[in-house]
C-alpha cells in the first residue's frame, strides 16, 4: 500500500479567508513531503461531552491511499470518505479512517478534512457570509479528485462518495446540489440523509440569530452591519469562535447541530439555494445508492440518558419542553409542538415513562426514529417515487460485536444496549484500534468485516453490492424499488457462540421498521399547511 498524507486541496482558510468559500490550493514547485496526517480541523466534541478544544484552523488537507500491487489492470475505482460528527467534530485522519481494511481490495481511498462548526457553517443569510463552507470544502475535495486522482491510479469517472451520519447526509447533499453534478458516480449514505431533522437546512432566521449571538459572545456584537462584524470575527482567536458552539445548546447538547447547512441567497458560488423538499428531482436520482442505518441509532443520545441519572430525571420531568428541542421541532407554534409531543408520547410510551437501563428499547427507538430512521425512510420514498431512478440498496446493521460505540457516548463498558449509531464503522476502518484498545474481535466480527468490505467495494466498483468473486454463496441482494422495502440485515446479536455460528450475517428481509416509519410519515398530514415543509 502507498499512502500520500496531508495533501493540501485548498489554501488555509485563515485571516480574510475565514468564513469564505475554499480557495483551491495554488501549485508549488519541487517536491512536498506527504508522509503524515495534517492537523484535524478546529473543533469541540459534544457527542463525547468533551470540554477540550483541539485542532487547527489550517486543516484543509486530504489523504490518498493506493494499493501497491493491484490485482487488476487499468485505473481503479475511487472511494471518497466524508466523516461524521454532526459537521462539528471528527476528521479524516488515518488513525480513525485509515486504509488498513479497504486497501486489501483494489480501490483508491481518499479521506479528507473539512471545516466544522461555526468556522465551517456560520451564515448571516446574506451574501456577506451565505454559509455552507464546510460542504463547499467537500465540493473542493471532489473537484481535486476529478482533476488529480488519475495520477494516483484512480479513475476520475468512477468515484463513489461515502460517509456516515453527517457524512451520509453530505453524500445526499452532493447528490442534490447542481455544483456536484458529474463529480460523483455512486453514493453510500450510512445513517444520514438531508431529510433527517438535524441535517435539514436551518429555518429562515435561525442561522442569522446564531451568527448574531456568536458575534456578541466574542465581543463583535456592538458593531453595525455584517461586513463590520465579520471583519471583527476574522480578527478573533479561532478557539473563541469554536468555544461559542456550546453556548448554542438549549438543553443538554441539543439541538444536536447548532450550525447545520443553510439555504443560501442566489449567487454564483451557492451550494444550496432551495430547501430539499422543494427542490426539483435531484441529479442523484440517476446515481446508484446504498443507504442504511443501525438497529439502535438512538443510543447516540440514550446511552448518556441511561447512565447519567440527573439527565434522565430532567428528561422525564421536563419531557414536554425537552423533546421538541431534542427532535428539532421547537420552531413550531406551541399548539403544534404540543400536538406532536402528545402523539409521540402515546405511540412510544403507552405504559408511561418507566424506561430505564433494563427497559430502554422504546426510548431508544424514539430517538432512533426521530433522528435517523424517519429521514432515511423519506429519502427512500423520494427515490422510489420516480420511475427512472438508479438502483437503491438498503441495509440494516444489527450486530453485537466485541466493542460498541455506546461506550463512547457514555454507555457503560461491557454492557450491550444494541447496535449503536456509528457501530458499523469499525468493520470498514481500523477505528477500533484507537477507541477500543482492549477489545478482541470475535470470529463473527472478522467474518462480518470481510463481508462488509466485499459489499462496499463491489458497490464502489460496479454500482451493485453483490460480490462476484467470493467462494461463499450469498442470497442476491436486490435493489429496493417499492414498499414494503426489501433490505439486508447485516450481523447477528446471538449471545452464545453456537447460536452465533449458525446465525447468518446476511439476511434478506422486508418492511424496514414499517410500523414505526408509518407513524412518522403520518405526522405530516396533522401539521398546518404552513408548517408541512418544515416538519420533523
User: Is residue 375 within 8 Å of 196, Cβ to Cβ?
Assistant: yes
Reduced to 3 DSSP states, what percent helix, strand and coil does the chain have, rounded to the nearest 5? 40, 15, 45
Catalytic member of 83, 174, 360, 421: 421
Burial class of residue 166, CB neighbours in 10 A (0-12, 13-18, 19+)? buried
Q: How far apart are CA 308 and CA 222, in angstroms?
A: 39
Instruction: Report which of 167, 178, 175, 152 is spatially closest to residue 78, judged by C-alpha positions.
Output: 152
Q: How far apart are CA 197 and CA 328, in angstroms?
A: 6
Q: How many residues does the chain have?
A: 536
Q: Report residue 346: phi and psi, to 5°.
A: -70, -25
Q: How far apart are CA 305 and CA 253, in angstroms?
A: 12
368 is catalytic: no
Measure Cα distances from 51 to 44, 45, 253, 409 in Å: 7, 7, 12, 14
The three cell numbers locating residue 342: 402528545
530 is catalytic: no
Please list, in sequence order, all residues whose beta carbon lies within 8 angstroms of the beta carbon of residue 528, skipping any fewer than 6 positions away.
336
Catalytic member of 125, 297, 423, 424: 297
Catalytic member of 111, 165, 177, 368: 165
Instruction: Report which of 15, 35, 38, 13 is spatially closest to residue 23, judged by C-alpha positions.
Output: 13
Q: How far apart are CA 291 and CA 307, in angstroms?
A: 31
Q: Report residue 112: phi and psi, to 5°.
A: -140, 155
31 is catalytic: no
Instruction: Report which of 143, 136, 206 is spatially closest to residue 177, judged by C-alpha positions.
Output: 136
154 three-state secondary structure: strand
- Give the pairing type, strands 61-66 and 53-54: unpaired
Which residues are catalytically annotated? 165, 297, 421
Amino acid at each position: 500500500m502507498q499512502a500520500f498524507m496531508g495533501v493540501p486541496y485548498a489554501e488555509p482558510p485563515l485571516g480574510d479567508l475565514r468564513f469564505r468559500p475554499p480557495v483551491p490550493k495554488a501549485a508549488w514547485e519541487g517536491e512536498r513531503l506527504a508522509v503524515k496526517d495534517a492537523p484535524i480541523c478546529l473543533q469541540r466534541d459534544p457527542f463525547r461531552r468533551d470540554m477540550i478544544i483541539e485542532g487547527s484552523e489550517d486543516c484543509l488537507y486530504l489523504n490518498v491511499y493506493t494499493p501497491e500491487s493491484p490485482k487488476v489492470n487499468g485505473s481503479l475505482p475511487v472511494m471518497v470518505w466524508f466523516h461524521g460528527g454532526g459537521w462539528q467534530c471528527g476528521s479524516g485522519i488515518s488513525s480513525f479512517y485509515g486504509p488498513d481494511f479497504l486497501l486489501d481490495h483494489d480501490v483508491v481511498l481518499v479521506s479528507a478534512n473539512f471545516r466544522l462548526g461555526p468556522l465551517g457553517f456560520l451564515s448571516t443569510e446574506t451574501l456577506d457570509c451565505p454559509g455552507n463552507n464546510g460542504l463547499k470544502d467537500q465540493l473542493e475535495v471532489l473537484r481535486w479528485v476529478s482533476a488529480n486522482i488519475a495520477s494516483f491510479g484512480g479513475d476520475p469517472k468512477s468515484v463513489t462518495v461515502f460517509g456516515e451520519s453527517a457524512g451520509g447526509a453530505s453524500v445526499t447533499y452532493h447528490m442534490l446540489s447542481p455544483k456536484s453534478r458529474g463529480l460523483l458516480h455512486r453514493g453510500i449514505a450510512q445513517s444520514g440523509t438531508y431529510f433527517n431533522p438535524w441535517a435539514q437546512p436551518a429555518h429562515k432566521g435561525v442561522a442569522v440569530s446564531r451568527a448574531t449571538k456568536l458575534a456578541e459572545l466574542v465581543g463583535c456584537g456592538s458593531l453595525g452591519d455584517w461586513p463590520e462584524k465579520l471583519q471583527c470575527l476574522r480578527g478573533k482567536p479561532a478557539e473563541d469562535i469554536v468555544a461559542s458552539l456550546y453556548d448554542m445548546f438549549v438543553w443538554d447538547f441539543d439541538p444536536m447541530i447548532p450550525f447545520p447547512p443553510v439555504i443560501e441567497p442566489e449567487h454564483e458560488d451557492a451550494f444550496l439555494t432551495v430547501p430539499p423538499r422543494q427542490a426539483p428531482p435531484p441529479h442523484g436520482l440517476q446515481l446508484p445508492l446504498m443507504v442504511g442505518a443501525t438497529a439502535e441509532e438512538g443510543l447516540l443520545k440514550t446511552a448518556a440518558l441511561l447512565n447519567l441519572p440527573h439527565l434522565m430525571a430532567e428528561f422525564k420531568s421536563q419531557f414536554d419542553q425537552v423533546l421538541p428541542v431534542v427532535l428539532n421541532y421547537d420552531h413550531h407554534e406551541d399548539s403544534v409542538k404540543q400536538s406532536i409531543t402528545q402523539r409521540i408520547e402515546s405511540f412510544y410510551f403507552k405504559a408511561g415513562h418507566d424506561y430505564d437501563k433494563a427497559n430502554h428499547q422504546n426510548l431508544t427507538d424514539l430517538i432512533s426514529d426521530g433522528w435517523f430512521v424517519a429521514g432515511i425512510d423519506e429519502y427512500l420514498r423520494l427515490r422510489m417515487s420516480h420511475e427512472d431512478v438508479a438502483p437503491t440498496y438498503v441495509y440494516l446493521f444489527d450486530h453485537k460485536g466485541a466493542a460498541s460505540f455506546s461506550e463512547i457516548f457514555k454507555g457503560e463498558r461491557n454492557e450491550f444496549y444494541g447496535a449503536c449509531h456509528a457501530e458499523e464503522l469499525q468493520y470498514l476502518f481500523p477505528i477500533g484500534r484507537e477507541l477500543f484498545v482492549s477489545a478482541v474481535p470475535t470470529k463473527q466480527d472478522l467474518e462480518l468485516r470481510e463481508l462488509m468490505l466485499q459489499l462496499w467495494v463491489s458497490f464502489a466498483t460496479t454500482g451493485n453490492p453483490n460480490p462476484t468473486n467470493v467462494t461463499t454463496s450469498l442470497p442476491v441482494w436486490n435493489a429496493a424499488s417499492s414498499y414494503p422495502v426489501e433490505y439486508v440485515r447485516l450481523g447477528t446479536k446471538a449471545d452464545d457462540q453456537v447460536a452465533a455460528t449458525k446465525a447468518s450475517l446476511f439476511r434478506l428481509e422486508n418492511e424496514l421498521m414499517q410500523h414505526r416509519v408509518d407513524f412518522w410519515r403520518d405526522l405530516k398530514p396533522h401539521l398546518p399547511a404552513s408548517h408541512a415543509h418544515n416538519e420533523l
